[in-house]
Chain A
Amino acid sequence: MNIATAIELRQLAHEAPPTPAEDGPASKEIVAGYGFWIFLLSDVVMFSALFASYAVLVHATAGGPVREQLFSQVSVAIETACLLASTYTCGLMSLAVQARRRGAFFVAAAVTFALGSAFLGLELHEFADMAARGATPQRSAFLSAFFALVGCHGLHVAVGLLWLVVMAAQVAVKDFRASVVRRLHCFSLFWHALDVIWVALFSVVYLMGVRA
């Protein structure tokens, strides 16, 4: 391409619809969504450190129970199904919010909450079961790393459930005003990101431990 063409292309680009910079500052929805995206990425980086420590310490069992003895495939499969279904209903909830349909929103929020609670309940049951068999975090480096990683994800789910209740209350009281819609958008990003992390988690922790 010669220089003249390049300049022409540049001029064309400038005559195209105004870029965000020329259009003034971005809207609050875009800024909030982007800021929350950055937070989620920093959260993922934190999880990567927990994943790294788990991967390093997975064989450091100090003579204690190893993963093949501890993990139940069935329980993990049900947990995965719960979280996946809840991420789908969370998507449907976002659609209800976009269409400003209160009834559909409350139904989707309730189903999302129920599925998320089922996930958390199963996970806590699994933890209690492991503790009853002597597999507590202080038993070995492997178990410390396991409980740090999976527990941190479970903690995120618990916080997400609390957030969902708060958002449902806000919709009930304040209806779909712009600030509430913005928060609901951030919540759906958070909930979908938790499922992405769970995909990595069940693959690395539970499935790679089936046979080793």
Chain B
Amino acid sequence: MSAPDRGAYAERQAQLLDALLRGDDFPPGFVVADADAAGVALRRKRGRAVAHAWPALALCLGDAFETRFDEFDRGAGASASGEPLRDGLAFALCLAGEDEPLGDDVRVEMLLARASLRRRGIWLRAACLREPYPRLLLVARLPRAGTRQRSFAIGRARW
């Protein structure tokens, strides 16, 4: 038997994935109702995975989370990684860029995600937070030690 054509197969799989993730037209022959249902289910699953990895962000957006993430994910279909932590960070950065009020808990989630996604070298960031009390948060990613964080109360908020 001759060697299978992996190139043509790759193209067909990429077409199906684009249709499912971005709502592009499905390649000919697919049952549209089934394919649409699969796309909705797939994007809903991706949204749930991001919501689990980003509880503060999900809480911040409330009932709008699913719709907002779906809009983002469809637009980012070509660049989304499928990794909840990474896609959630991209989503949060997109919201921040649109001046969405995200709150301190989401800012902390973003810092911790950026630290976790850092693969090499030393990474250090600081953030002034107001909730639940004024404090300075330091988050670091260190080789071999992983992510570390320290919180320093500011002013009279000391415990």
Tell me whether A and B are bound partners.
no
